[in-house]
Structure 1
Amino acid sequence: MAAAIQRKLETALKPSLLKVTDESHLHAGHSGNPSGDPNAETHFRVEVVSEAFAGKPLVQRHRLVYGVLAEELNTGVHALALKTKTPAEIAQ
């Protein structure tokens, strides 16, 4: 799942920075990962820096990422924590 997230975001957003962190082990036994499997790939933290976010408010940026990852969100990803910035925003 992490590899699919990485690949899809790279293709769609051409990011200058992309970090995908699997945090499923922190949610073992909780909602969305009731099996308790620390390798369940259900909870992710994603940091994306992309020019594709320029001029877009936070909600639109997140919707863009959710649209790219719609299949993953419908087939196993329970939680997606997002940090979305433009290159100009991280240069400040």
Structure 2
Amino acid sequence: MAGPLQQEMERLLTTTFAPTRLDVSNDSASHHGHSGDDGSGESHFSVTIESAAFAGKSRLERQRMVNRALGDIPGERVHALAIKALAPGE
């Protein structure tokens, strides 16, 4: 079951981008005991998102859009966030 931070991320990304595909994966268990593991079980995530909002945008622009949508979560509330943002058909 998804933890509260993962659920918040899913809600924010769904509201902002109306994605055709969204996968927020909690990778924290594989980083247990490593730098950035705060013991919460929600410190490392991967996001794969597909949305028309990313059409015509560079990889960097897409990552910035996702980070903006997540507000204070990246860098403050989670240690690491891997983002794969796609336009439909990619």
TM-score normalised over the length of structure 1: 0.87
Amino acid of the structure 2 residue aligned with 1:40:
G
Match of 1:17 among 15, 21, 29: 21
Amino acid of the structure 2 residue aligned with 1:17:
R
Amino acid of the structure 2 residue aligned with 1:10:
T
Cα deviation for residue 73 of structure 1 reads 1.8
Q: Structure 2: any 5+ residue segments left out of the alignment?
A: none
For residues 56-71 of structure 1, what are the structure 2 equivalents within 5 Å?
56-71=57-72
1:48 equivalent in structure 2 = 49
Q: Write out per-residue CA displacement over residues 8-34 of structure 1, whole angstroms, 9 at most, x where no aligned residue.
A: 00000110000000000010111110x
Q: Which moved more, 1:7-16 or 1:67-76?
A: 67-76
Percent identity between the two aligned chains? 40
Q: Distance in 1 between matches of 2:19 and 2:87?
A: 9
Of structures 1 and 2, the larger Rg is shown by 1
RMSD: 1.2
2:73 equivalent in structure 1 = 72
Secondary structure of the corresponding residue to residue 89 of structure 2: helix
Cα deviation for residue 3 of structure 1 reads 0.2
Is residue 5 from structure 1 mapped to residue 6 from structure 2 by the alignment? Answer: no
Cα deviation for residue 75 of structure 1 reads 3.5
Amino acid of the structure 1 residue aligned with 2:8:
A
TM-score normalised over the length of structure 2: 0.89
